[in-house]
Amino acid sequence: MVNKAARVADLEHQAGFAEFWSDAAKAREVLREKNTLEKVVTRYQAMERQLSDAETLLQLGEELGDPDSEREAAQLAAQLDPVVRKFEVQRLLGEEADDASAVLEINSGAGGTDAADWADMLKRMYLRWADRMGFKATIVDEQPNEDAGIKSCTIEIEGEYAYGYLKSEIGVHRLVRISPFDANARRQTAFASVGAYPDIDDTIEIKIDDKDLEVQTMRSGGAGGQHVNMTDSAVRIIHRPSGIVVKCQQERSQLKNKATAMKMLRARLYQQEIERRQAAVDAQNAQKKKIEWGSQIRSYVLQPYRMVKDVRTRMETGDTDRFLDGDIHGFMEAYLAARANGTLEAGEAE
């Protein structure tokens, strides 16, 4: 932590020179690093003060035989436990853009209507998780399925370290249950994929050439009602070099939808660059286990027994209702710890 505090002081010193602001891109990068480190140092110093106060009270209670001081010291120490745990988890979130908000994408896969319903269940699970975390979640695009559920959806989740946590969810999620859409009540397997991208801000520069873009406008879809958007305000943007397609229809204004779609495109391109760099590192380190997109990362079994099991960490729970209601943070933390320790198992395609 001493090194981090020294680095903050060094960055503050750099920002004090007039020529520092002549290179706007570099200045933004330095300020971003400084802000991230300052948050870590401030939290650590607050923990140190609270621990020092608890030790002082405990020492005072023992010397004076004051049980009230000893009880207060115990209370302070107990309050520190979840703070230290959170700090330890966030220590694992030290990779590029981990502290950013996130763009979450869910797509139904094999399984027909069951898969579309499964994608909708996952959407609810992540919305409930975001609510538990105190994050703001906004659905920016959703494609409903004809019979039930959704074909796909895109959600912006605003909150500190949202991307760092949600990258643990990237992959294919498998559901086994008695299908509510099967007249013979047979057990069915359905798949849905989850993707996550850092919702990067203006401090990170991604160059996009207008000539590489195909911008399409269309009428926004939805469930209807008196507030249905009847104008051609929805925007789809195709980035030809990468093949990335983004769409936004949440706003009534075409300009606002285009701005949000461009923000999503920048996030996707940024994530693509991160993955390219990681692939280069993995290629040089043959012993590093790689989690391939398209591999099953987690199974959710509701019939004939009830179990959620992560195939990468081997963590499991029988409380499927609570898990599907958004209580997934423990699995995220287990993933981060296993990733840091190099003990992740490869996902299994089933």
As a whole number of angstroms, the distance between CA 130 and CA 124 comes to 10
DSSP annotation string for 112-135: HHHHHHHHHHHHHHHHHHHHHHT-
- Residue 252 DSSP class: S
Which CATH code is given to the segment(s) 2-91?
Answer: 1.20.58.410
Cβ atoms of residues 231 and 140 within 8 Å: no
Q: What is the mean pLDDT of the chain?
A: 81
As a whole number of angstroms, the distance between CA 92 and CA 28 comes to 24
C-alpha to C-alpha distances, 100 to 11, 79, 145, 221, 341, nearest whole angstrom: 20, 27, 31, 30, 23
* Amino acid residing at 164: G
pLDDT tens for each residue of 58-114: 887 777 777 877 778 787 777 777 777 667 766 788 777 788 899 999 999 888 899
Angle at 82 between CA 80 and CA 86, to 5 degrees: 115
For the chain, the structural domain boundaries read 2-91, 101-199+295-341, 210-283
Nearest in space to 150 (alpha carbons), one of 189, 108, 191, 105: 108
**Beta bridge pairs of residue 21:** none
pLDDT given for residue 197 in this prediction = 87
- Residue 18 DSSP class: G
Cβ atoms of residues 212 and 239 within 8 Å: yes
* Averaged pLDDT, 329-345: 87
pLDDT tens for each residue of 154-211: 999 999 889 999 999 999 999 999 998 888 888 899 999 999 988 875 555 677 888 8
As a whole number of angstroms, the distance between CA 139 and CA 135 comes to 13
CATH class of 210-283: alpha beta
With H, G, I as helix, E, B as strand and everything else as coil, classify residue 52.
helix
Q: Which of 77-81, 168-172, 241-245, 315-319 has the highest mean pLDDT?
A: 315-319
pLDDT tens for each residue of 17-58: 777 777 776 777 777 767 767 777 777 777 777 777 778 878
Using pLDDT thresholds of 50, 70 and 90, give the confidence band for residue 117: very high
Cβ atoms of residues 267 and 199 within 8 Å: yes
pLDDT tens for each residue of 266-293: 888 888 877 776 665 455 443 333 333 4
Residues 6 or more apart whose Cβ sits within 8 Å of residue 295:
171, 172, 346, 347, 348, 349
Q: What fold characterizes domain 101-199+295-341?
A: Alpha-Beta Plaits (3.30.70)
Nearest in space to 349 (alpha carbons), one of 311, 301, 307, 302: 311
- Residue 115, judged by CB atoms within 10 A of its CB (0-12, 13-18, 19+), counts as buried
